[in-house]
Amino acid sequence: MKHIGIVMECDFRKEASQEEAFAEAFSLADTAEKYGIDGVWLAERHFAAHRRPTDPMGGGIPSIVSVPLVMAGAIAARTKKIKIATGVSVLPLCHPIRLAEEAATVDHISQGRLIFGIGRSSFPKSYEGYGVPYSESRDMFQENLDIILKSWTEERLNHKGKYYEFNDVAVMPQPYQDPYPPIIIAANTPDTFPVVGNQGFPLATGLRGSDIPAAAKSLQLYKDAWKESGHLGEPEIYMRIPVYVHEDPHKALENPKEGVMNAFRRQAENAVNAAKKAGPDDAGNLARRAEILSSLTYEDLLEGRLAYGTPEQVVEKLKYAEEEMGLTGVVIEPNVGGLLTKDQVNESVALVAEKVSPKLKKGII
C-alpha cells in the first residue's frame, strides 16, 4: 500500500469553543506529522453548527472546516513532510478561478505537498446555504474542473460555458507542482465511477455508503472504464475507512460504538434529504442508500464498513480491503461520530502509525 492518510473532519464538540475546535484540529495534524502518517485529508463542511430541536434532519456532525484550503495553508506552514489533501473541495460551491488561485497558493506554501481532492458532496444543505441548485451539481462540477485545469495549463484563460465565460484572463499563481497538484475525484454513486475512469483521474471513495463487496463492484466499473478509455498504467484508488485502534480488544469496539451508530443514523437522514432535492440521475441511488443505511446494526458495520480492533486485527481488516478492492491507499476516519476524546483519537492515530502502517506497507500481516 502506497499511502496511509487521515481524514480531518475538524469536529466542533458541543462542550468546546470554536477556538478549542481549531486547536484540536491542528493538534491532530501535528500528531499525524510526528508519527509519520503520509497525509491529512481536510473535509469541507458548511453550516455544520450544533443542531437545534427545530432544525431539519441530516445536518451531519458540527464542524469548523468550511474553507479547507485556508486550513491547508496553515497546516502547510507548521509541517515539513506530510502531504496535505482536500478531502474534498466541493467545486460547485466556489468560483473556479478563486479555487484555482487558492489551491496553487497552498501548493507553493507547502512546496509541492498539496493533493487536490475534489467532489460534489452529498449535503444539499450546503448548496441551499449558498443558493446553488443541488440538481445542477453534476454539470457545474465538470465545468468548474475544466476551468481550473485551463487556469493551470494555459498562459491566458479563455472559456465559454453554461455557467461562466472568461476572456484572456491571466490566473496567478501557477501551481508549484508541474503541471499541477495530483487531482483525485470523489465518487459515491455507481454511475459516477465510470465517469472518473473515462477521465483518467485517481479516485477516492468510502465505506460509509457501501460495504467492501459492494464497493469492489463499483470500483470495477471505474477500472473497466479506465482501461477502455486507453489510459496507461494502473488507476489509483484511495478508500476512506473508519479506523479505531486500541490494545484492549473490548475497548477497541466499545469506545467508538455510540459515535459511529449516531453517525450512520445521521447519514441515513441526510440521504433521505438529498434524494428529495437531487436531480433524476442521483435521486434513486440516494433513496436506496438511505434505506440500506437505516437498517444497519453495529455488527453489520463491523463486518463490512469499519476497521476497529487491536493493531493486529486492524492490519488484517485493512489488508483484506486492499486485496478485495485493489487499493493504492487508505484514508482513515479516526473519529466517526465525533464522540471519542482528543486523547483517544491521538492514541489511535499513534498506534496506526507505529503498528499498522508499517505492516501494510511491507505487505506483512
> In this predicted model, what pLDDT tens digit does every residue of 159-199 receive, in sequence order?
999 999 999 999 999 999 999 999 999 998 889 999 999 99
Dist. CA 199–CA 248, nearest whole Å:
45
104-132 per-position pLDDT tens digit: 999 999 999 999 999 998 788 899 999 99
Rg (CA), the chain: 20
Look up residue 264 and give its three cell numbers: 450512520
pLDDT at 88 over 90: yes
Dist. CA 268–CA 280, nearest whole Å:
19
Q: How far is CA 307 from the centre of its chain?
A: 17
**pLDDT on residue 57:** 45
Cα first-last separation, the chain: 13
**pLDDT on residue 235:** 97
Dist. CA 169–CA 158, nearest whole Å:
7
Q: How far is CA 214 from the centre of its chain?
A: 19
Query: Buried b vs exposed e over 142-172: b needs ≥16 C-beta within 10 Å?
Result: bbbbebbebbbeeeebebeeeebebeeeebe
Dist. CA 121–CA 285, nearest whole Å:
14
With a CB cutoff of 8 Å and minimum separation 6, the contacts of 211 are: 300, 303, 304, 305
Between 12 and 345, the higher pLDDT residue: 345
**pLDDT on residue 364:** 46
pLDDT at 221 over 60: yes
Dist. CA 99–CA 257, nearest whole Å:
37
Dist. CA 307–CA 259, nearest whole Å:
15
3-state secondary structure of 307: strand
- Lowest mean pLDDT: which of 116-120, 203-207, 359-363? 359-363
Name the percent of the chain in helix, strand, coil, to the closest 5: 50, 15, 35
| Local confidence band at 272 (pLDDT 50, 70, 90 cut-offs) | confident
Look up residue 255 and give its three cell numbers: 469506545
pLDDT at 259 over 90: yes
Phi-psi region of 310 (alpha: psi -120 to 50; beta: other; left: phi over 0): beta
Q: What is the CATH number of the domain that holds 29?
A: 3.20.20.30
* Structural contact between residues 215 and 240, judged by C-beta atoms closer than 8 angstroms: no
Number of other CB atoms surrounding residue 92 within 10 Å: 24
Q: Say what percent of the chain tops pLDDT 90.
A: 80
Specify the DSSP class assigned to residue 92.
G
Report the amino acid identity of residue 128. E
Helix ranges (H only) for 53-166 are: 68-78, 96-109, 124-130, 137-153
Q: Say what percent of the chain tops pLDDT 70.
A: 95
pLDDT at 203 over 80: yes
- Lowest mean pLDDT: which of 188-202, 228-242, 251-265, 277-291? 277-291
Look up residue 174 and give its three cell numbers: 501557477
Pairing of strands 165-169, 157-160: antiparallel
Mean pLDDT of all residues in 82-101: 98
Look up residue 6 and give its three cell numbers: 487521515
Report the amino acid identity of residue 214. A
pLDDT at 248 over 70: yes
Give the total number of structural domains in the chain. 1
Sign of CA dihedral 188, 270, 40, 344: negative
20-72 per-position pLDDT tens digit: 999 999 999 999 999 999 999 999 999 988 755 445 544 457 899 999 999 99
Domain residue limits at 48: 3-362
**pLDDT on residue 269:** 80
**pLDDT on residue 320:** 97
**pLDDT on residue 51:** 58
